[in-house]
Structure 1
Amino acid sequence: MYITVKQAAEKWMVSDRRVRILCSEGKVLGAYREGRAWKIPHDAIKPPDGRYKTKESLIPIIEDKLEVLRKRRPLTAGELERLHEEFLTEYTYNSNAIEGNTLTLRETDMVLRGLTIEQKSLKEHLEVIGHKEAFEYIRQLVRENVQISEKLIKDIHYLVLADKKEDRGVYRRVPVRIMGAAHEPVQPYLIIPKMEELLEQYTNSTEDIVTKLARFHIEFESIHPFIDGNGRTGRLLVNLELMKAGYPPIDIKFTDRLKYYEAFDAYHVKHNLSAMADMFAGYLNQRLDLYLSMLDE
């Protein structure tokens, strides 16, 4: 769901002109231009002021907001369920759309409710259902505080890849290339040792949660352990670890996909991790603001 510039201006208590400037400068995550009008995600939060543009300065702010959130009264079961339903629909839509699924947000919502969309493939329907089941599984793992492992990753992938039964939860056995990417995935015989190394590095990392997950996500996608479904699985793993740490899940918008792809290239070409970490931090900051604003109300 999207709102207009005027609606965002009223919500954020700023001028229409200020909202347009923020959108044109790329400071409103997920906002995009359609003709002369800006489409702004309904859950977009007013961008923080200029002092907080980078991941480094956002980290302590995010940590403080999490601490505030923990001290507030808990959300009711009804509030949590409503948040979950709204997030699941948009998250499923965006994560699948990044990988080429053509179902719209409304169509994704309809499929999640058990309806069938005419002239859309069975594959696209199954991708929605598989992603939903995988996210529900993630929530269960969070409640049980299960440690990340190769088996867990394969289990998540098994649910994600609902349309390709023979490849579900199985490491690929053939070389692959990612068109347009600056990095080539490892050869099949290196997948197991590289996955073992990645999980060991992640477990032993003393970096903050955002930096740690940005590095893990890029390295996981670089290994590209499965024949398909790596992106969706990787983003689910990020949310698994965020939620285990007490943070809300994040949803990388389809409209930010180019910025997302560029963050991978920045790491592989320039050894720059901050592009991905900044993106994660920005989304996480927005989600925390959303939760806190609900409690304020």
Structure 2
Amino acid sequence: MDDTDTPLIQEELLARIDEKMNRLNSMRPIPADASGRLHEEMRLVHTYHSNAIEGNTLTLQETKIILEEGLTVGGKSLRGHLEVSNNAKAFDRVEELAKKKHAVDHVTIQEIHEIVTRGILEDAGSYRTRNMRIKGSVKTPPDWSQIMILMDELIEKIAESQAHPIETASFLHHRFVAIHPFIDGNDMVARLLTNLYLISRDYPPVVLKKEDRGKYYKSLKAADAGNLGPFTNLIAKAVDENLTLYLSISGGNDELLPLKELALETPYSQEYLSLRARQGLLDAVKIGKTWHSPKRAVEQYLSEHGKKEV
């Protein structure tokens, strides 16, 4: 990984992330009950969205039923159910390893893949031993005989990186997918490794949403061409969003409220605030189909933009 003095993350976004990290660190240790709720929520949404990106058709509610009640969903495949339970178990394992500040290495990578593809692939947990092509892609993964060399290089670069943790995590994700060390399941493992790296450095886990699937693959393609900026900022925005969720547990000005409710205390309509949220100018997160924001963020938006717009 080439460390440079030029940050890949947008300056304003990076400043917001750093400010939120300072506030989150001041809250530590997070109370056990709140920490448990956050873990369960992240486990559910990460599992659902990561699987959905790959084509799993189970809904968020069906995923929740499988994980929380151990029930099966009629009309859905065995593989679909295994993808849910396996991905959730892998997420749990990632959090365990992250708490121990475990490094990204061959053993960890293969263990995570084995959990994710258990009962689905015959060679679960094993690097591929044949060449392959990715359907719909013009790029061919490296020759299988180069995998150990390329993975050694990647692991070393990650261990030695002095770049911002989000930049390093983004590089890890993209490079891992480009090497494509396994026959299948590489993208899911890459998302889990990204979280292993971030959580071990005290960041919240990130959730790349199925609604952003197009942006996800488009930014990975840009990274293939040498421009890691769009993908790094996609990861950074996911970090920023989940920092907002984590901070909301403290309540007060950080409590997440629907924009419909917050709009009553501003000169703007709910629709206008939603537009600014989509544009990234208002710090907000989408829960289901509804935008939410903390009062702190709305007040900051008003102080920065209100006088110019009213």
Q: Identify whether the pair has TM-score above 0.5, normalized to the shorter chain.
A: yes
Per the TM alignment, residue 59 of structure 1 is displaced from its structure 2 partner at its CA by 2.0
Aligned partners of 2:167, 2:28: CA distance in 1, in Å?
A: 29
1:236 to 192, 197, 204: 192
**Percentage identity across paired residues of the two chains:** 39
State the structure with more CA Rg: 2
The 1:80/1:211 distance shift into structure 2, 3 A limit, reads same
Specify the alignment match of 1:197 in structure 2. 153
2:243 to 288, 293, 296: 288
Aligned partners of 1:290, 1:197: CA distance in 2, in Å?
A: 35
Does residue 132 (structure 1) correspond to residue 88 (structure 2)? The answer is yes
- Number of residues paired by the alignment? 244
Does residue 246 (structure 1) correspond to residue 198 (structure 2)? The answer is no
Q: Kindly provide the amino acid, as one letter, of the partner of residue 164 in structure 2.
A: D
Aligned partners of 1:135, 1:173: CA distance in 2, in Å?
A: 26
For residues 60-79 of structure 1, give each alpha carbon's deviation from its aligned partner in whole angstroms, at most 9, with x where no partner exists. Answer: 32122112211125322111
Aligned partners of 1:176, 1:295: CA distance in 2, in Å?
A: 49
Ranges in structure 2 where 5+ consecutive residues have no aligned partner: 1-8, 253-310
1:1-297 aligned within 5 A: 55-72=10-27, 74-113=29-68, 114-269=70-225, 271-297=226-252
Segments of 4+ in structure 1 off by > 6 A? none
Q: Kindly provide the amino acid, as one letter, of the partner of residue 86 in structure 2.
A: G
The 1:173/1:55 distance shift into structure 2, 3 A limit, reads same
For residues 80-113 of structure 1, give each alpha carbon's deviation from its aligned partner in whole angstroms, at most 9, with x where no partner exists. Answer: 1111112211110100111111111111111112
The answer on whether the counterparts of 1:112 and 1:128 sit within 8 Å (CA) in structure 2 is yes
Per the TM alignment, residue 181 of structure 1 is displaced from its structure 2 partner at its CA by 3.0
The answer on whether the counterparts of 2:38 and 2:246 sit within 8 Å (CA) in structure 1 is no
The answer on whether the counterparts of 1:171 and 1:225 sit within 8 Å (CA) in structure 2 is yes
Structure 1 residue matching 2:122: 3-state secondary structure:
helix
Aligned partners of 1:134, 1:83: CA distance in 2, in Å?
A: 17
For residues 243-294 of structure 1, give each alpha carbon's deviation from its aligned partner in whole angstroms, at most 9, with x where no partner exists. Answer: 110010010001100100001111123x111111110111111111122222
Per the TM alignment, residue 239 of structure 1 is displaced from its structure 2 partner at its CA by 0.5
Ranges in structure 1 where 5+ consecutive residues have no aligned partner: 1-53
Aligned partners of 1:124, 1:206: CA distance in 2, in Å?
A: 39
The answer on whether the counterparts of 1:101 and 1:124 sit within 8 Å (CA) in structure 2 is yes
Q: Kindly provide the amino acid, as one letter, of the partner of residue 212 in structure 2.
A: D
The answer on whether the counterparts of 1:55 and 1:278 sit within 8 Å (CA) in structure 2 is yes
TM-score, normalised via structure 1 length: 0.79
Per the TM alignment, residue 169 of structure 1 is displaced from its structure 2 partner at its CA by 0.5
Q: Kindly provide the amino acid, as one letter, of the partner of residue 22 in structure 2.
A: E
Aligned partners of 2:148, 2:100: CA distance in 1, in Å?
A: 26
Aligned partners of 1:206, 1:215: CA distance in 2, in Å?
A: 12
Aligned partners of 1:55, 1:161: CA distance in 2, in Å?
A: 36
Q: Kindly provide the amino acid, as one letter, of the partner of residue 227 in structure 2.
A: N
For residues 186-219 of structure 1, give each alpha carbon's deviation from its aligned partner in whole angstroms, at most 9, with x where no partner exists. Answer: 1110111000011111111111111111111111
Per the TM alignment, residue 182 of structure 1 is displaced from its structure 2 partner at its CA by 4.7
Structure 1 residue matching 2:182: 3-state secondary structure:
coil
Per the TM alignment, residue 296 of structure 1 is displaced from its structure 2 partner at its CA by 3.5
Aligned partners of 1:68, 1:86: CA distance in 2, in Å?
A: 21
TM-score, normalised via structure 2 length: 0.75
Q: For the aligned residues, what is the CA RMSD?
A: 1.6
Higher relative contact order (CA 8 A, sep 6+): 1
Q: Kindly provide the amino acid, as one letter, of the partner of residue 112 in structure 2.
A: I
